[in-house]
Amino acid sequence: MAYRGWAVVWVVVAAIAGAVAPASASAQGTPPIDVPIFGQFRSVLAQGEGQSVTASDFAQYEATGQPPESFVSQQPLYVDIMPHAGSLTPSDLDTYYKDTNFGSMPGGVASTETPLPGVHIYRDATYGMAHIYGDTRYDVMFGAGYASAEERLFLMDAIRRTAKGTLAGLLGPSAASDDANQLTDQDFSDQELTDQFNQLDERFGAAGERCQADIQAYIDGINARI
């Protein structure tokens, strides 16, 4: 299963990472941040960072009923927000949201991956968030695609199929009516989608070329993980 131009929908997240990626990281720890940091960022994700489970992970869940920690570690934050959502103040933000400034590493470094020379993906110990460092812009975009596929490959495939009106091929006949509606509303062929990608540089010049390169690097990372 190889992914192509549809991955444009994910490139915004990856481009944010690319804007702040410092030089290559060592396996012992993250390097200092030597690029501008733009403000304070916080987030919470109810379903956690996840990651695709192995057969042994799934067997353990079936036996114990306990999902992997990275799937539920942010639920307490999210649940506690709800009763206070209408009255949050700035001082509450650090209580109900986690620090996601680039380079922040809650709990320290839990794991390090180097899926390509020049690409280093660190995951923090508290939430399993991916922190992507690269020697080049290509490296960072590749790492973003690789990490996204680690966490959300099934969801990415489901969204791709939803957009193409082929979700029934994954979920069965129950999705057929929605597929039919999607094909009625927006039935771009693969060639039409490819043409849209290929025309980015013609329409937007240097920015379009950069976008094409970013999308391709991101897809390369997804396919490397697959």
- The tens digit of pLDDT for each residue in 46-68 reads 888 887 777 888 888 899 998 88
- What's the pLDDT band for 11 if we cut at 50, 70, 90? very low
Would you say residue 6 has pLDDT above 50?
no
Q: Please tell me which residue, 139 or 32, carries the higher pLDDT value.
A: 139
Q: Which of 40, 45, 144, 50 is nearest to 100 (CA)?
A: 40
CA 113 to chain centre: 16
Q: Give me the percent of the chain exceeding a pLDDT of 90.
A: 45
This prediction has a pTM of: 0.79
Q: What is the pLDDT of residue 123?
A: 93
Q: Please tell me which residue, 9 or 167, carries the higher pLDDT value.
A: 167
Which residue bears the tokens 């020697």? 135
Would you say residue 15 has pLDDT above 80?
no
Q: What is the pLDDT of residue 215?
A: 97
Query: 17 and 217 in contact (C-beta within 8 Å)?
Result: no
Strand ranges in 37-195 using DSSP code E only, listed in sequence order: 42-43, 98-99, 109-116, 119-124, 130-134
Would you say residue 168 has pLDDT above 90?
yes
- What's the pLDDT band for 28 if we cut at 50, 70, 90? low
Residue 204 and residue 115: Cα distance in Å, rounded? 31
- What's the pLDDT band for 184 if we cut at 50, 70, 90? confident
Q: What is the pLDDT of residue 94?
A: 87
Coil, strand, or helix at residue 194? helix
Span 92-107, average pLDDT? 88
Greatest mean pLDDT among 75-89, 173-187, 202-216 lies in 202-216
The backbone torsions φ and ψ at residue 173, rounded to the nearest 5 degrees and listed phi first, read -60, -25
Domain range annotation of the chain: 5-34+141-225
Query: 219 and 4 in contact (C-beta within 8 Å)?
Result: yes
Which residue bears the tokens 């396919």? 223
Quick one: the chain helix, strand, coil %, rounded to 5?
A: 55, 10, 30
